[in-house]
A and B are shown apart, each in its own frame.
Chain A
Amino acid sequence: TAGITQAPTSQILAAGRSMTLRCTQDMRHNAMYWYRQDLGLGLRLIHYSNTAGTTGKGEVPDGYSVSRANTDDFPLTLASAVPSQTSVYFCASSRTSGGTNTGELFFGEGSRLTVL
């Protein structure tokens, strides 16, 4: 069972370069999310999408963009990477029940990004 698949699993990137982190889910969940995880700061929401065709900003959206062209894919793009974007990035999705988002998140295994 795949669930949420993220790629790449790790990447080293020069500052100023662009990068897209890929996320695909096979659970047909409507809502998808991108979080970054930094030591001592827990998980912070970058962007989210409640359904295909819509996106929203989370707690730390600056320097990141997302798109949601279909239900399954939710890529995260860094247009011009900076060292402060060094982090572990997690993609997640959540199921709905009776038309309501349950908030129960299913996570990918993470993408470790180092910006030098």
Chain B
Amino acid sequence: GQQLNQSPQSMFIQEGEDVSMNCTSSSIFNTWLWYKQEPGEGPVLLIALYKAGELTSNGRLTAQFGITRKDSFLNISASIPSDVGIYFCHGNQFYFGTGTSLTVIP
């Protein structure tokens, strides 16, 4: 099946630092979505992107839909402890990235 390559696999950062993660695919997608999952819960949608080149912000989060439609990135600025969780990219209903586990050290 299709592969969504998400990197990095894990990140350990100091509170206040910026975070960047990305997803790439061998196939073209029409949507890119980013989710966050906290321990013991289901993923929650953070940002949805529907157009190539689109740059969208949600508070301290910024995500971009790559111009080739094969990639997307998510940035978190000025990280705080509650940003801890696993972040997933999602290309369409079938395929999720393998996740980026974020740990924020106070």
Chain A residues within CB distance 8 Å of chain B: 4, 31, 33, 35, 40-45, 48, 58-59, 90, 92, 94, 101-110
Contact = CB atoms under 8 A, between A and B. Distances in A.
A43 B93 contact: no
A38 B88 CA distance: 13
A106 B90 CA distance: 13
A109 B96 CA distance: 17
Contacts of A107: 42-44
B48 A43 contact: no
Contacts of A44: 96
Contacts of B35: 105
Interface string B1-24: 100001000000000000000000
Contacts of A101: 93
B31 interface: yes
A31 B93 CA distance: 10
A43 B43 contact: yes
B45 A45 contact: no
Interface in B40-98: 40-45, 48, 88, 90, 92-98
B33 interface: yes
Given A42-B88, A42-B98, A42-B99, A109 B1 contact: no
A33 B41 CA distance: 16
A29 to B, nearest CB: 12
A109 B33 contact: no
